[in-house]
Amino acid sequence: MTATQPDPAAAFKQQSAIQAASLVQTGMAVGLGTGSTAKFVVAELGRRIREEGLRITAIPTSIVTEKQAREEGIPLTTFGQQPELDIAIDGADEIEPATLNLIKGLGGALLWEKIVAAAAAQFVVVADASKYVDHLGLRCPLPVEVIPFGWENAARKLGHLGAQVTPRRMRDGSFFLTDEKNLILDCVFPAIMEPEKLSADLHAIVGVVEHGLFLHMATQTITAGPEGIRVLTPQGGRTCP
């Protein structure tokens, strides 16, 4: 979404973000997500620090979010000082409501996002209601982060798994680089019916650092749309750290 194109879902993103930010309490260590919805979360936490005296520490999931958090006056910490987080709040590109499995990473921050989500006791996902899908892979490609060396071979192996693979590029044609200076391969799979198997297959490819399937990690999703705010929790609870 460019500055000249207003985001029609912005108000819904903000509603879900504000609701999620209300879960944060003084003393908590908080993971800060990346993307246009997470941006509203960071802004709301900044407001609560300034206006309500909220006291937290936070770990951002990208350099962009780190910059915003500093501008908002949110005290930052590291995993060296704070190995576990009380809560992480982040956006998503797809949400499968039956499982709360997600695709993340269209913003390119999936690696740090997954590390932060895995360290958090609560992983709360915020989004507008357009992010729901019946099955993962229906709405957007699956981003796969690979190291630059030999990326072509990783791409071929992803192709053997059934993906149409496109290396992500900047407008000028150069490769998009993540905060870890890796590449993102956007992989269009037919509907992903066996995400656990696909996750294992992806991790088995040498050169793949991480992928955007966030399986059994969300402890809650908060979405907003024309019908209001919807909060979902996983049936049977969370099964991953």
Ligand X SMILES: O=C(CO)[C@H](O)[C@H](O)COP(=O)(O)O
Among 31, 46, 60, 105, binds ligand X (CB under 6 A): 105
Among 56, 110, 133, 144, binds ligand X (CB under 6 A): 110
Spatial separation of the C-alpha atoms in residues 189 and 214, rounded to whole Å:
16
- Closest CB to ligand X among residues 5, 235: 5
Among 86, 94, 113, 145, binds ligand X (CB under 6 A): 113
Among 46, 108, 137, 207, binds ligand X (CB under 6 A): 108
- Closest CB to ligand X among residues 34, 220: 34
- The answer on whether 225 is annotated among ligand-binding residues is no
CB atoms within 10 A of CB 4: 5
107 interacts with ligand X by CB under 6 A: yes
130 interacts with ligand X by CB under 6 A: no
186 interacts with ligand X by CB under 6 A: no
CB atoms within 10 A of CB 32: 28
Write out the H or E segment, with its range, that includes residue 18.
helix 10-21
C-alpha radius of gyration, the chain, whole number: 17
Q: Which residue has the tokens 């209300």?
A: 22
In the annotation, is 152 catalytic? no
- Residue 168 Cβ, how far from ligand X at the closest point, in Å? 11
- Closest CB to ligand X among residues 17, 163: 17
- Judge contact between 161 and 57, C-beta under 8 A: no
What is the per-residue DSSP string for 175-213?
Answer: BP--TTS-EEEEEE-S--S-HHHHHHHHHTSTTEEEESE
Judged by CB under 6 A, the chain residues 81 through 100 that form the site for ligand X are: 90-93
Write out the H or E segment, with its range, that includes residue 112.
helix 110-118
Single out the catalytic residue among 113, 145, 180, 196.
Answer: 113
- Judge contact between 137 and 190, C-beta under 8 A: yes
- Residue 111 Cβ, how far from ligand X at the closest point, in Å? 9
Q: Which residue has the tokens 């908060």?
A: 222
CB atoms within 10 A of CB 24: 21
Size of the site for ligand X (CB under 6 A): 18
Binding mask 19-58 for ligand X (x = CB under 6 A): --------------xxxxxx--------------------
Return the SS3 of 239.
coil
Spatial separation of the C-alpha atoms in residues 127 and 136, rounded to whole Å:
15
- Closest CB to ligand X among residues 60, 207: 60
Residues that bind ligand X (CB under 6 A): 33-38, 90-93, 104-110, 113
Binding site for substrate, by residue number, is 34-37, 90-93, 104-107, 131
Active centre residues (catalytic): 113
